[in-house]
Structure 1
Amino acid sequence: MTARTAGPSRLVLAATVANLAAGTLFGWSLVAQDAAAGVGMSGSAAAGVFATAIVVLAGAVLVAGPAQRRVGPRRLLVIAAVLGGGGLLLAAVVRGPVALWSGVALLFGAGGGLAYGVAVGLAARVPAARRGTATGVVVAAYAAGPVLLGLVAPSALRAVGWRTCLAVLAVVVAALLAAAARLAPAGTAHPDGRPGRAAGVPRRVVSPLWLVFAGGTAPGLLLFAHAVPLAADRQLGPQAAGLAVSALAAGNLTGRLVAGWWSDRIGRVPALAAALAAAAVSVGLLAGPTAPPVVLAGFLGTGVAYGAVSSLVPAATGDRAGPDAFATAYGRVFTGWGLAGLLAPVAGGSLLAVAGDRPVLLGLAAVPLLPAAAGLLLLRRPASRTPAAAAS
């Protein structure tokens, strides 16, 4: 099958299935402590496994563009299935810390990055009028993976242990990626029938989107890393704290779905502006009074804003770079998210430490939104390769 014969619905289905598998990486915290104890690692080392996986994932997304032009989406998803499933299986059956580092951080991180890179690339091939909706569905699947794991993992871990759970997840991940590969185009051609090529990517396309992605997701990444201690600092009880974490996750999923659909109607730049504004307001709520409804609204709004930016940036990249150059352009843009994913949790720990007595300092979590807003202003320049870019 070529890209010409694969209709938009099939492209979206393949991408959604692939991202459902890739997103399970973000369920690592569900098993991290049990796995670390089982191999003699500390809790901080378990967090290091995840941080390393993020770096590897970002690197894999960066190379996914050139790889797709050479081997096509289908073969790349098969490679992702082998790496992702094999990495989890290695971590499940081989004893010792090295198995977790190599299996989860390196192999599963690489497989997840390749799968994500292919998935958003397939969504970018959907016609511009529906690209936002398609991208929203695809990236929502990435967020849905950890949500589904969260429903079944606690009881499964108690019943069979972490090694069996990882082994079962390895099979599920490999099967989902294999199914996505079967649905994906085999060739490297794009919807217009021309062969894939290494199209040039102007800096004026990458740099503003990089700023928006890095700055726009930083508050959400900070909150995801410190949700429970922040809820406690904001004087939420255990039940309300659990509700806050759920609100954050639900907002993330909802933001991804709604923002993409909405941007098809009002344009990418206005939708991104609304997302950044929502993030700023939500941080303000978290830094304000400790009334539980206000704090919960801050968690929910931060999740919605994070999900919206995560959906809108790849769609906007597709508008401005075009299908030929999308994979290369988005690989570079995605490094902004990777940098934020490394720095925001670290900065958040320091911020929570100094904001204990002065919660108003939590407002500093909104500082990264300033360069994101600057990037958004640059995006208003009418420099487009597609009709959708002019509309946004």
Structure 2
Amino acid sequence: MNVLRLFPVWLVCAAAGGLYGWSALGLPLAKAFGVSTAETGLVFSYSVVCFTLAVIFAPYLLQRASAVRCLIGFGLGAVAFLVIAVRADTYWMFVTGFSFGFGGMSGAIYITALSIAARSEHFRIATPVMVAGFGLGGAVFGPLWRVLDDAGWGLDGLWALILSLLASSVLLVFATENKANVDAFPGVAEVVPSPKASRTILFLLWALFAFGSFSGLMVLGLAARILDAAQVSLFLSTAALGGIALGNTLGRLSVAWVNRCRSPLIGLASAVSISGLGLLLTLLGGGGIELGVGLCLVALGYGVMASAVPSATQSIFGPDRFAALFAFIFTAWGIAGFIAPWIGGAIFDATGGFRDALVLSLLATSLSAVSILLLKRQVDRMDVMTTR
């Protein structure tokens, strides 16, 4: 399949990635409903849980219906839930629309778009590019919402995301308006159980994703509050949020190059190294520019991790098992995503700072490095990495 056919799918995925710009909505939410830092962090945590549940269950729906038509439905569903969020008059109504609704639809869009890319002819390039598209949504909407909030829009800035999702979903409808175009998009294979010999590798992928995602998800969920706590200027704060989202996107995209030249395991090792460097700079730096650069490096490392894990899963287990097995591995991301923003906000509420939360993130990153070393040993011993 021509990679250009994936462009409408990529647009929907990128719009759904607005979820990653969430931290810029934390302050408007606190102003609108008078909630604490922990409660704003919980909005992202709930979103991650619903996102993960959608990633787990959507592949079973995709076995029974056209993947591209499901993607259109998920896109329009996301629009409906975001309208509920932007019109909410209570904190819990906002959580219902944004976290439970949009979070779930975003996850369904993500795994559907990724599954389509994974079964394309040029999957080694298409998969990380699709993952990067999701990250790009955060790179666009995070800074945009920050600027709109400064201009007095508050939570009404969500209308920008609503219109983007609606436009990209409608474009996908026109791109696949006849059966021939629908059939050009590959579907999703039946779930194939993992061989017993692969369970150790599957568990190690799960563990490294859980520990390796912790710091990045904390930064994505609480970046705006971390910067505000450090009392950085509006210019530096906006630039840092843009850099965080851009780093997340570039990290995801870089794996397309890594996959062409080397094993995805190289990407995993790079992810941990970059995140660890960013955390050290954030902890040891004097604040201001050092803080912004450190957070951007953490986001860059997380972006590499987010793209290298599905690429490694695909290379080890093959495209036919990808959707089902990656759905299991993705539960690690969901657990990390629920814990990291919440515990980061709770630590801030208790101590008035984020230092302890960043130290905890550094510990998690170290455990991820250990998991990668064990994974490489297993992969080399079993010789399961595909080269096609």
Question: Given the two structures, how large is their TM-score scaled by the length of structure 2?
Answer: 0.82
User: 2:169: which partner in 1?
Assistant: 177
Distance 1:298 1:204, change over 3 A: same
1:287-317 deviations in Å (ceiling 9; x for gaps): 2242755444422321211111011111111
CA contact (8 A) 1:207 1:375 kept: no
CA distance in 1, matches of 2:8, 2:69: 13
2:254 aligned to 250, 253, 258, which one? 258
CA distance in 1, matches of 2:384, 2:69: 28
Question: Does residue 1:341 correspond to 2:337, yes or no?
Answer: yes
CA contact (8 A) 1:259 1:311 kept: yes
Residue 265 of structure 1 and its aligned partner are, at CA, apart by: 0.6
User: 1:224: which partner in 2?
Assistant: 220
2:190 aligned to 184, 194, 197, which one? 197
CA distance in 1, matches of 2:354, 2:160: 46
Residue 59 of structure 1 and its aligned partner are, at CA, apart by: 0.4
Residue 331 of structure 1 and its aligned partner are, at CA, apart by: 0.9
CA contact (8 A) 2:41 2:342 kept: no
CA contact (8 A) 1:288 1:359 kept: no
CA distance in 1, matches of 2:296, 2:157: 30
Structure 1's unaligned 5+ residue stretches are 1-5
Question: Does residue 1:308 correspond to 2:304, yes or no?
Answer: yes
Structure 2's unaligned 5+ residue stretches are none
CA distance in 1, matches of 2:242, 2:280: 20
1:1-392 equivalence runs, <5 A? 6-11=1-6, 13-31=7-25, 33-34=27-28, 40=33, 42-43=35-36, 45-93=39-87, 95-127=89-121, 130-153=122-145, 156=148, 161=153, 165-167=157-159, 169-180=161-172, 183=175, 186=182, 190=186, 196-202=189-195, 203-228=199-224, 230-231=226-227, 239-290=235-286, 294-349=290-345, 362-380=358-376, 381-382=379-380, 383=382, 387-388=386-387
> How well do the aligned residues superpose, as a CA RMSD in angstroms?
3.5
1:30-70 deviations in Å (ceiling 9; x for gaps): 445545655x5635545433322221111001112111111
Residue 371 of structure 1 and its aligned partner are, at CA, apart by: 3.1
Q: Between Structure 1 and Structure 2, how many residues are aligned? A: 377
Distance 1:30 1:240, change over 3 A: closer
Distance 1:108 1:15, change over 3 A: same
Residue 237 of structure 1 and its aligned partner are, at CA, apart by: 5.6
Other structure's SS at 1:126 match: coil
1:125-171 deviations in Å (ceiling 9; x for gaps): 234xx544323321222122233224544565677845764455334
CA distance in 2, matches of 1:342, 1:239: 30
Residue 338 of structure 1 and its aligned partner are, at CA, apart by: 1.1
Residue 268 of structure 1 and its aligned partner are, at CA, apart by: 0.6
Residue 260 of structure 1 and its aligned partner are, at CA, apart by: 2.8
Residue 341 of structure 1 and its aligned partner are, at CA, apart by: 1.0
2:274 alignment partner AA = A
Moved more, 374-383 or 332-341: 374-383
User: 1:3: which partner in 2?
Assistant: none
Moved more, 266-275 or 23-32: 23-32
2:194 alignment partner AA = V
Moved more, 339-348 or 160-169: 160-169
Distance 1:325 1:300, change over 3 A: same
Report the identity percentage: 25
CA distance in 1, matches of 2:144, 2:289: 28
Distance 1:27 1:224, change over 3 A: closer
CA contact (8 A) 1:57 1:110 kept: yes
1:316 alignment partner AA = A
2:276 alignment partner AA = A
Residue 84 of structure 1 and its aligned partner are, at CA, apart by: 0.4
CA distance in 1, matches of 2:2, 2:241: 38
CA contact (8 A) 2:45 2:342 kept: no
Moved more, 153-162 or 275-284: 153-162
2:137 alignment partner AA = G
1:8 alignment partner AA = V
CA contact (8 A) 1:140 1:256 kept: yes
Question: Given the two structures, how large is their TM-score scaled by the length of structure 1?
Answer: 0.81
CA contact (8 A) 1:355 1:361 kept: no
Moved more, 146-155 or 267-276: 146-155
CA distance in 1, matches of 2:348, 2:92: 32
